[in-house]
A and B are shown apart, each in its own frame.
Chain A
Amino acid sequence: MDERESRRTPVFFMSIIIFMLIMSLAALLLAIEAYLVQGKLEIINIILSASALFLAAYMFIQIRKRSISLGFETLKVSTVIRCLKCDYKNVREFEKGDYILRDAGPCPKCDGTLIIHSIFRESKEKD
């Protein structure tokens, strides 16, 4: 990617936006002046002013538009530990070295074997 080019583009667009804003202001002033001096409502100038303002705003939003997510966010991952004999269940945060079906020591309830039953992340995303 050309670094110089990427810097030049916003300048070009910003000049168009500024030009649009000046034109919009001028059209609006003309409309106000016409109304004050002649007492007539200049619809064309008002429409021109509004459309130039809208175009400038649209262009500005387009330039500024950036997505926030980079895909490297830390996710909350849980590890579920279950006893093979009784109904003992413990949910804790994922620790490095955890994997499903790994032995997790003796059960505090019945002295049976504990295993990592599942590892998952809670997601707030909508389907």
Chain B
Amino acid sequence: MKSVVDMQVTLQVSTDWLFQLIWILAFIFIWVYGQRIQTILTLKEIEGSLSRLKNMRDRGRQIVISAIKEIGKPAEDPTPRVDRLLEHVDIEPVSLDPTGIIRRLEHIIDVRDFRLKEEVRQMAPQADEAQINNLTNVLEAALALNHVYKIVRHYYLMGKKTLSFYVILQIQMLLPLIMRESEAFANALKAFTLGQPIGDGAGALVAARLMHGNKKRLIAQDTILSETQIEGRKAYVIKAKGPGGNVGKPGEAIKQILEEEEGKVALIIMIDAAQKLEGEKTGEVAEGVGAAIGGPGVDKYKVEEVATKYKVPLSAIIIKESIEDVVSTMRKEIVDGVEEAINRIKRIICEGTKEGDTVIIAGIGNTIGIAQ
């Protein structure tokens, strides 16, 4: 009986040793190949996001094709043309000699916009001007999704080839932000197809409210000007021509008004949507000085240049929103922010100018779904 117990204890000790050895080997394996396992895990995570980006890209492409077919009633299948346009590239002007770079950049942007609109016009012969603008916006959102997908795929494949933890780490760190932005573009596709106003149009909505019911004229390409009276001051209100998806040329419009008025303008107020910081509320309104306008910088440069030339003060009103809200259907909080911005404009005008003065109010942003 005693020898059986002894045998059991001996067996227990030897299996103990065997398992201890396996554990030690397992730890050595993890110690040696730990980073490689981590690399593979990270690659797996990127792969999941990449597959979602691919789905978004494919759905985006499909939405563009069906929107063109539905709205434009083309005689031939637009698919090959859409596929060609999704690979469209813009080459920035050379910056080694920065003299005149804004003028050159503006030229390239103009050519790009013209080319895209022409392509859409040819693909959708039955579409009206507003629909062509909306379809161009849909195409641009799909183009952005395709571009993002390709960049992430590039880093993923490069990381897989080199198995370099640091190459993979770069894309993994940015991935949450990239995914947020891509989801925003995916939402934008729906809003653009239906012609719904988007968060970026907050500034345009302010201007639309102020110019509604007044006489309007085209002052620059796709840009509308209206003259109105606000608190006893003559106000020139500017916005992009809606309800199609347009941003217009507010910089050029402000420049023209100042030239026409020979600089006799008491104040320029620019209203635009601006990216909020985490923790700030959507639709919150803030005031400041400077040219409230985003984009590649052409319009901002023009406004700053002409305001400096005539020494006209520049006031800014911004309506805060997240990156997702900028390109997706306008939120209720942003509409409330628009009403608050109008009150602020009136207050700024009363405090900063005298009765009989002339002011310029520019509502900046994409005017999709907003007429005037």
A50 interface contact, C-beta 8 A: no
Q: Is the CB of B371 within 8 A of A101?
A: yes
**Bound complex: CA of A101 vs CA of B43, how far in Å?**
50
Q: With A and B bound together, what is the CA distance between A32 and B323 in angstroms?
A: 56
Could you mark each residue 44-69 of chain A with 1 if its beta carbon is under 8 Å from any beta carbon of chain B, else 0?
A: 01001000000000010011011101
B9 partner residues in chain A, CB cutoff 8 A: 37-38
For residue A33, which residue of chain B has the nearest CB?
B12
Q: Is the interface of B mostly helix, strand, loop or mixed?
A: helix
A5 at the interface (CB under 8 A from B): yes
Interface size band for A: 35 or more
Inter-chain contacts of A73 with B (CB < 8 A):
187
Say whether A70 contacts B281, CB under 8 Å. no
Task: From B16, B186, B279, B331, give the contact of A120 (CB < 8 A).
Answer: B331
Considering the complex, which residues of chain A in the window 8-38 have a beta carbon less than 8 Å from any beta carbon of chain B?
9, 12-13, 23, 26-27, 30, 33-34, 37-38
Residues of B within 8 A of A71 (CB): 56, 182-187
Binds A, one of B87-95, B194-202, B301-309: B194-202
Cα-based distance from A67 to B178 in the complex (angstroms)? 14
Q: Contact at B40–A101, with CB atoms within 8 Å? A: no
B335 CB to nearest A CB, Å: 5
List 19 contacting pairs A-B, 8 Å CB cutoff, sorted by A. A1-B51, A1-B157, A23-B19, A30-B12, A30-B15, A65-B45, A70-B55, A71-B183, A72-B189, A77-B196, A94-B196, A96-B194, A99-B195, A99-B242, A100-B205, A120-B334, A121-B330, A121-B331, A121-B332
Q: Which residues of A does B touch, CB under 8 Å? A: 1, 5-6, 9, 12-13, 23, 26-27, 30, 33-34, 37-38, 45, 48, 59, 62-63, 65-67, 69-75, 77, 94, 96-102, 118-123, 127
Which 9 residue pairs are nearest across A and B when measured between Cβ atoms? A71-B186, A71-B183, A99-B243, A101-B371, A121-B329, A100-B370, A120-B332, A99-B369, A118-B335
Q: A1-B153, A119-B329 are in contact. List 18 more A-B contacts (CB 8 A).
A: A1-B157, A9-B44, A27-B19, A37-B8, A37-B12, A63-B44, A71-B182, A75-B190, A98-B195, A99-B369, A100-B369, A101-B370, A101-B371, A118-B330, A119-B196, A121-B328, A123-B332, A127-B280
